[in-house]
Amino acid sequence: MACHGPQGNSQVPTTPSLAGQPRIFLENQLVLIRDGMRVVPEMKGVLDGVKDEEIVQMAGYFSAQKAQPAEKGQARQDAFQRGQALAAKALCASCHNADYAGRQQIPRLAGQPEPFLMQSLKQFRDRPEPGRDTMMSAVLLGMKDAELADLAHFLAHFR
């Protein structure tokens, strides 16, 4: 919670909130990170020796927490509308659901910190890594940084 915030609601702009994430998504990501199949430098060593049962408990705890929007204040309408149009064109809701809350092994995007979303979108587009969804790389292929910024703004402010 030191990094991901109280009850899993991040206070750090580049760190995702875990609160309200689908349990299966959290379980999968924690196992991938623990087993070294997904490299997250900030998590290096944190999950060493953690048993599957403990991962299930952690995932259950964080998924049961109420997600609080990371972004405060009003969205910039122009960027929000462009991001909304991009999300529709890219069919983001077909996997992440219409409320962008995610489901099963697919993460919640709504209300995540905008800098984290931008960083993640660029990573998916530019350097897909082991343990990451290759479908996302294909969806984002060819999008410019400005488009990713609009998409991140939309998702961060989506309520």
* Residue 153, helix vs strand vs coil: helix
Q: What percent of the chain has pLDDT over 70?
A: 99
Please state, in angstroms and rounded to a whole number, the distance separating the CA atoms of residues 99 and 101: 5
User: What pLDDT, on the 0 to 100 scale, is given for residue 150?
Assistant: 98
Per-residue pLDDT of 16-40, as tens digits, reads: 999 999 999 999 999 999 999 988 8
Which phi and psi angles does 60 have, rounded to 5°? -60, -40
Please say if the pLDDT value at position 81 is more than 70.
yes
pLDDT number for residue 44? 87
| pLDDT on residue 4 | 94
Selected from 3.40.630.30, 1.10.760.10, 3.50.50.60, 1.10.3080.10, the CATH number assigned to the domain covering 77-157 reads 1.10.760.10
pLDDT at 91: 97
Average model confidence (pLDDT) across the chain: 94
Give the whole-angstrom CA distance, residue 90 versus residue 104. Answer: 20
52, 72, 159 from 150: Cα distances, Å: 38, 17, 16
- The Cα–Cα gap between 55 and 116 comes to 23
Whether residue 112 contacts residue 128, with contact meaning beta carbons closer than 8 Å, is answered with no
Domain ranges across the chain: 6-64, 77-157
Which residues are bridge partners to 103 per DSSP? 106
Which of helix, strand or coil describes residue 10? coil
Cβ neighbors of 81 (< 8 A, separation 6 or more) are none
Whether 77-157 and 6-64 are alike in CATH topology: the answer is yes
Give the pLDDT confidence score for residue 131 in this predicted structure: 66
Average the pLDDT over 108-132 and give the result: 90
For residue 143, pLDDT beyond 90: yes
pLDDT digits (tens, 9 = 90+) for 5-15: 999 999 999 99
- Counting Cβ atoms within 10 Å, is residue 78 exposed (0-12), middle (13-18) or buried (19+)? exposed
Q: How many other CB atoms are found less than 10 A from the CB of residue 4?
A: 17
Q: Does domain 6-64 sit in CATH 3.40.50.720?
A: no
Asked if residue 99 lies in contact with residue 110, where contact means CB atoms within 8 angstroms, the answer is yes
pLDDT at 128 over 80: no
pLDDT tens-digit map of 27-78: 999 999 999 998 888 898 899 999 999 999 999 999 999 999 887 788 999 9
